[in-house]
């Protein structure tokens, strides 16, 4: 049998303090219990470990060897306990996050930078996905946390309010709609769009909304980034729709104009998506609480 850590700690303490009585006092236990532990340890290992005398105790050759090994073993155990404690309280951990393009461009860089500054031992794996795939990934445990715009809520996951944004239409400076402060969505349907990736929540929403109006949402190209979208709009290859703060950043460098979108759905709520609060690791729980300003205790 392998000696248990408690017996090794008492053995080290006895030799450190020189007497069983002094070790017992330091360890806040009875001297008889300490003596019994040492005797059991000697019996278990089949060798004498200490020599008792009226002056105290001293190690046998086997005892000296065990003392050296005990220091290493107990140090490793303390290190394990400390590291596991770091994981338990969220100081260490691994978090898988899927976020949509809007969250990736607007919020996640600053959000994660601030979080990692306070929790530098946490490892984060961040991937960009379309909103329609994010909730499924969370439900299937392929991601711990999702950040998305909810279209149709998925059963088996929780949605927590995160950030808000506003959609605008962008057009080339030479476009017939240029110069207008605000437009209705219907006003844009006479023109081809530059769309976002296939399956994106934005594309699906625009298709559905146009269909409800008896119209067709037409796109000439689909791109995977706002950078490509804005460059193609500037080149006259279509109009686009994206969050206002992102459009403002590109408008400073490109010859495009922003048109306010006069639709109730142009103001959007982004959500954090999780399987359940209780299923989160301590590190993921810290991040979610930070992002949403909520927690199980705050409810």
Model confidence over 120-177: pLDDT tens digits? 889 999 999 999 899 999 999 999 999 999 988 999 899 999 999 999 999 999 999 9
Can you tell me which residue has the tokens 């930078």?
A: 113
Strand bridging mode 158-172 / 267-274: antiparallel
8 Å CB contact between 11 and 17: no
Quote the strand ranges of 45-92, DSSP E: 50-53, 56-59
pLDDT > 60? residue 32: yes
pLDDT in tens, 38-65: 898 888 888 888 888 888 888 898 888 8
Rounded Cα distance between 176 and 69, Å, is 82
Domains of the chain (ranges, CATH numbers): 5-88 (1.10.10.10), 93-163+269-292 (3.40.190.10), 164-268 (3.40.190.290)
Q: What is the pLDDT of residue 296?
A: 45
Q: Of 59 and 114, which is predicted with more confidence?
A: 114
- The pTM for the full model equals 0.68
Please name every residue paired with 276 in a beta bridge, in sequence order, or none if there are none. none
The H-or-E segment that residue 230 falls in is helix 226-234
Which of 53-57, 75-79, 218-222, 264-268 has the least mean pLDDT? Answer: 75-79
The CB density around residue 192, as the number of other CB atoms within 10 Å, is 15
8 Å CB contact between 24 and 10: no
221-to-42, 72, 74, 218, 240 alpha-carbon distances in Å: 79, 64, 64, 9, 10
């Amino acid at each position: 049998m392998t000696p248990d850590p408690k017996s090794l700690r008492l053995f080290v303490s006895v030799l450190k303090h020189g007497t069983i009585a002094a070790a017992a006092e330091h360890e806040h236990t009875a001297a008889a219990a300490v003596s019994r532990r040492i005797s059991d340890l000697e019996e278990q290992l089949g060798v004498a470990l200490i020599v008792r005398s009226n002056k105290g105790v001293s190690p046998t050759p086997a005892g000296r060897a065990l003392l050296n090994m005990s220091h290493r073993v107990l140090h490793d155990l303390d290190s394990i306990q400390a590291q596991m404690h770091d994981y338990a309280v969220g100081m260490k951990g691994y978090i898988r996050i899927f976020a949509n393009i809007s969250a990736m461009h607007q919020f996640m860089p600053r959000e994660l930078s601030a979080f990692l500054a306070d929790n530098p031992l946490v490892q984060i794996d961040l991937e960009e996905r379309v909103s329609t795939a994010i909730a499924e990934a969370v439900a299937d445990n392929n991601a711990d946390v999702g950040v998305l715009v909810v279209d149709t809520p998925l059963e088996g996951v929780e949605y927590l309010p995160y950030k808000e944004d506003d959609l605008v239409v962008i057009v080339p400076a030479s476009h017939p709609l240029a110069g207008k402060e605000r437009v209705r969505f219907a006003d844009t349907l006479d023109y081809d769009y530059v769309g976002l990736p296939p399956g994106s929540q934005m594309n699906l929403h625009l298709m559905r909304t146009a269909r409800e109006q008896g119209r067709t949402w037409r796109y000439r190209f689909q791109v995977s980034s706002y950078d490509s979208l804005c460059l193609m709009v500037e080149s006259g290859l279509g109009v686009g729709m994206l969050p206002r703060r992102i459009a403002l950043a590109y408008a400073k460098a490109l010859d495009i104009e922003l048109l306010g979108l006069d639709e109730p759905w142009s103001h959007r709520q982004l959500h954090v998506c999780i399987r359940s609060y209780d299923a989160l690791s301590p590190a993921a729980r810290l991040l979610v609480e930070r992002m949403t300003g909520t927690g199980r205790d705050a409810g």
